[in-house]
């Protein structure tokens, strides 16, 4: 259900097994006069997101992710969530509050990425009035839609950008974990330089992940991205200098 202009107040992201709860959230929001996109999930699990789904997301003001134990195993849910967070980050000067998580049967401590604004859904699966009102208030606090988000600014590379696969896919939560780690000291007003280490066995894509982070979050580091490549000892480092 959309508004006359083909726009949606809420894009509802959920795992197919949770369709009953998803419909309950949708119906409660529609009763409050909000337009909601609820995709009927079909096709193979690992198939690319349909163009129609991406278009609906681009025409949506906010995203609500129905977080259950099933949610993290869905590639489609993870990609929709990442696309919304990325667009919100560019659209709202670094804020991602227009992307919300409604929790059912999971702890808030287990929600990833940590940037999500989280609300609790009762065990009955029926959204209470206060939950719906909280979502509606957040919807009304934002303008524009995800499709209005500008492209990320190109980072300034020192000494030069390292060639890598630009069609980065997956590991979305890890990108946002790095972002949280490098901004963690903001909460404590700690002026010390933040450090986040990406570690693991060779061939797991640590370099690709670090470079993709630098491309996506360049606005947080206006001082530039410094690439240190120690080929002789098979080490690699990316330093993002300066904070927004």
CB 53 within 8 A of CB 116: no
From CA 155, how far away is CA 177, in angstroms rounded? 20
CB-based contacts of 68: which residues, under 8 Å, 6+ apart?
A: 14, 15, 17, 18, 21, 104, 105, 106
pTM: 0.85
Give the pLDDT of residue 44: 54
Q: What is the CATH number of the domain that holds 104?
A: 3.40.50.10140
Is the same domain home to 165 and 142?
no
* pLDDT (0 to 100) of residue 112: 84
Evaluate whether residue 2 is within a structural domain. no
Q: What is the pLDDT along the chain (244 residues), one digit of tens a residue?
A: 445 457 999 999 999 899 999 999 999 999 999 999 998 766 555 555 678 889 999 999 999 999 999 898 888 898 999 999 999 999 999 999 999 999 998 888 888 888 888 888 887 778 889 999 999 999 999 999 999 999 988 888 888 887 766 667 778 888 988 888 887 666 666 667 778 888 877 777 888 888 889 888 988 888 888 888 766 444 445 555 655 4
- Which residues, listed in sequence order, are joined to residue 239 by a DSSP beta bridge? 226
Start-to-end C-alpha separation, the chain? 38
Residues 26 and 121 reside in one and the same domain: yes
Residues in the chain: 244
d(CA 237, CA 143): 38
Residues 31 and 144 in one domain: yes
Q: What separation in angstroms does the CA of 89 have from each of 85, 93, 194?
A: 6, 6, 20
Residue 63 and residue 84 in contact, taking contact as beta carbons nearer than 8 Å? yes
76 and 174 together in one domain: no
Give me the number of domains the chain comprises: 2
**Phi-psi domain of 171 (left: phi exceeds 0; alpha: psi -120 through 50; beta: other):** left
107 in the same domain as 38: yes
Identify the domain boundary among 126, 148, 170: 148
Asked, for residue 230, whether it belongs to a domain, the answer is yes
173 in the same domain as 142: no
User: Do both 33 and 108 map to the same domain?
Assistant: yes
Same domain, 128 and 213: no
Domain assignment present for 1: no
Q: Is residue 139 part of a domain?
A: yes
Enclosing domain of residue 220: 157-240
CA distances from 105 to 10, 95, 110, 162, 213 (A): 22, 27, 11, 43, 31
The answer to whether residues 10 and 65 touch, using CB atoms and an 8 Å cutoff, is: no
């Amino acid at each position: 259900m959309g508004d006359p202009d083909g726009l949606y107040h809420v894009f509802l992201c959920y795992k197919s097994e949770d369709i009953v709860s998803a419909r309950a959230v949708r119906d409660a929001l529609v009763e409050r006069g909000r337009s909601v996109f609820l995709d009927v999930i079909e096709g193979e699990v690992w198939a690319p997101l349909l163009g129609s789904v991406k278009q609906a997301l681009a025409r949506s003001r906010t995203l609500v992710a129905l977080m259950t134990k099933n949610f993290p195993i869905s590639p489609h849910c993870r990609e929709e969530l990442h696309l919304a967070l990325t667009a919100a980050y560019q659209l709202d000067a670094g804020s991602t509050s227009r992307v919300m998580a409604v929790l059912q049967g999971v702890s808030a401590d287990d929600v990833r990425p940590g940037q999500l604004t989280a609300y609790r859904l009762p065990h009955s699966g029926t959204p209470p009035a206060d939950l719906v009102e909280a979502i509606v208030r957040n919807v009304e606090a934002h303008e524009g839609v995800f499709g209005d988000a500008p492209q990320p600014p190109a980072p300034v590379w020192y000494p030069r950008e390292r060639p890598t696969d630009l069609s980065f896919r997956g590991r979305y939560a890890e990108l946002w974990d790095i972002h949280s780690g490098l901004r963690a000291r903001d909460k404590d007003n700690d002026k010390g330089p933040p450090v986040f280490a990406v570690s693991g066995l060779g061939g797991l894509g640590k370099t690709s992940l670090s470079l993709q982070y630098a491309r996506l979050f360049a606005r947080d580091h206006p001082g530039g991205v410094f690439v240190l490549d120690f080929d002789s000892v098979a080490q690699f480092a990316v330093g993002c200098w300066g904070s927004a």
